[in-house]
Chain A
Amino acid sequence: MADSFSITTEAIDPESLKRALETGDAGACATFEGWVRNLNEGETVDALEYETHAAIARTEGETVIAEACRKFPILKAHGVHRVGKLEIGDCAVWVGVSSAHRGAAFDACRYIIDEIKHRLPIWKKEHYRKGATTWINCATEASGEPPTAG
């Protein structure tokens, strides 16, 4: 599935991405958008910074899409992750799937976003209103518990 997954520094345009999933035999389309929210673990978040290894993230993303196409009876699937500095409300990640029936579209969309979050080399640094920053999921000290995010 070459070009089925991309990394971008530009704003994600869900409408144009969705149009690329259209095909005459599709009866369902499921999409997921991950947005930057203003609160995590009780801290007010002002902005987010995503870092990646773009080539490996793209390759692994294409692998995830290919897996979804084998596991579920879907027609088209595509994913995009944005990196760089993002603000509250920005779309950070987009996944879309088209299929003949809704069940496969929902299931494949869920599979793709879950695998993207667990497998792609992408890191998220939160900038808090109080001035501190944190790398999400990374330990802050030798005995520290890593901060988490949904």
Chain B
Amino acid sequence: MTIEVTARYFAVFRERAGCETEAVSTLSRTAAELFGEVADRHGFADARDRCKVAINGALASWESALENGDEILFFPPVAGG
């Protein structure tokens, strides 16, 4: 069964995807699975273990389960300082 979520992209991911957010109907059950799906579609080049994910406004683990209506934030490798 598919669920409806919103994917939000930052920095290089936003530029690659060509949009800040998109509605995604997905069979993915975890943040990691959804990352694989959108990374393939948009050509994200960074390995997942160098990236971070947040769900509904808080940092989360890649193994977090997704629920209908979630907003998933994909963060490429960070470079503060």
Contact = CB atoms under 8 A, between A and B. Distances in A.
Interface residues of A, number: 35
Given A125-B11, A137-B79, A138-B11, A56 B59 contact: yes
Which of A56, A116, A117, A135 has the most CB atoms of chain B within a 10 A radius of its CB?
Answer: A135
Contacts of A125: 11
Interface residues of B, number: 22
Contacts of A137: 50, 76-79
A52 B73 CA distance: 12
Given A56-B58, A123-B10, A142 B43 contact: yes
A113 B45 CA distance: 27
B75 interface: yes
B5 interface: no
A50 B11 CA distance: 9
Given A51-B11, A53-B73, A138-B12, A123 B57 contact: no
Interface of B: 10-12, 15, 43, 45-47, 50, 52, 54, 57-59, 73, 75-81
Main secondary structure of the interface of B (DSSP, over half): loop
B18 to A, nearest CB: 15
Contacts of A92: 81
Contacts of B43: 142
A68 to B, nearest CB: 16
B52 A121 contact: yes
Nearest to B45: A139
A100 interface: no
20 contacts: A53-B75, A56-B57, A56-B58, A56-B59, A81-B81, A117-B78, A119-B78, A121-B75, A123-B10, A124-B80, A135-B15, A135-B76, A136-B79, A137-B78, A137-B79, A138-B11, A138-B45, A138-B46, A142-B43, A142-B45
Given A53-B54, A56-B59, A60-B59, A138 B77 contact: yes
A93 interface: yes
B78 A118 contact: yes
A122 interface: yes
Given A138-B46, A142-B43, A144-B45, A123 B12 contact: yes
A136 B47 CA distance: 15
